[in-house]
Amino acid sequence: MPVGELFRGGYLSLVVGLQLEDGREVVVELRPPAPRLAGCFEVHRRLYEAGFPCPQPLAGPVALAGFIATVESYIPGGDRFPPSGRTAEPFASALAALVAAAPAVSDVPSLAPNPPWTAWNHAEGGLWPWPDDRDIDLNSVRGPDWVDLAGRAARSRLERARPQPVVVGHGDWYTNNIRWAGHELHAVHDWDSLIAESEPVVAGLAAAVYPAVQAGSEATVEETAAFLDAYAHARGRNFSAAELEECWAASLWVRSFDAKKQFATEGHVRSLTPAEAHERAHRADAGNQAETLDPRP
């Protein structure tokens, strides 16, 4: 039984830290029901059992008052960045270790559908999927044209990718969900954001956002390139030229989705610029759409 509350917060879900009678500290999370949560919890459990640094899953997922509840151990402390700061290598190596340790997609319940910021291949109709944190149809919002072009270029390039094996990855790999103890990975959180995707897409999504502490502080083009190099080194195999283009297309998708949502809700864009969109589209070999995004007069 709980004897005290440690904290209360959350964004898309309610997260409560509790002190139990036996002295243990746990985290209870409640979020709206979604079939994919069963797969997320199973992957989380298996990664913990494999020794990956993450909270221990203790109970759930179970229905509770119209929500889905889970309980996990509380891991306090840790820093947003290792001593190397925004340097890509530690973040890339940690993600590669997660992918390598994760179970096969076929061995766990479905993780579909992917969260919207990763869902370049959604089946909702229109270019943009419905955001999970806003009640708005992004496809009904006019402009900015260059953001729509960027999202379309990213999606088009990924649609023509050759079929590849699908792996389990973390779809929200950035500082809010990762903690470090010196140079060592302390704990990874937000296991609701697991995805089943090709490895280039998993790496490309993370490479675009890993150092962000707020909108506008995401990875530069150079930092994304360094992340992809470090990820390939950590997994012991270089990306092919086509795979690397898919990484860049995924990086453009997540940044353009965030930019579109920012424009729809705030009236301006913070997470992408036309010049950066052009460069990412160019590196993705997005064809005519990359040229349309050319920021030069």
Between strands 166-170 and 25-31, the pairing is unpaired
Cα distances (Å, whole numbers) of residue 104 to 46, 194, 291: 11, 13, 38
More confident residue, 164 or 9: 164
Q: Is 291 helix (H, G, I), strand (E, B) or coil?
A: helix
Average pLDDT over residues 21-46: 95
- pLDDT, one tens digit per residue, over 110-142 is 999 999 999 999 999 999 999 998 899 999 999
Judged against a pLDDT cut of 70, whether residue 288 lies above it is answered with no
Mean pLDDT of the chain: 94
Burial class (CB in 10 A: 0-12, 13-18, 19+), 76: exposed
Rounded Cα–Cα distance for residues 57 and 71 (Å)? 6
Q: What contacts 113, CB < 8 A, 6 or more positions away? A: 36, 119, 122
**Cross-strand bridge partners of residue 14:** 30
Which of 3-12, 13-22, 84-93, 238-247 has the weakest average pLDDT?
3-12
- pLDDT, one tens digit per residue, over 196-251 is 999 999 999 999 999 999 999 999 999 999 999 999 999 999 999 999 999 999 99
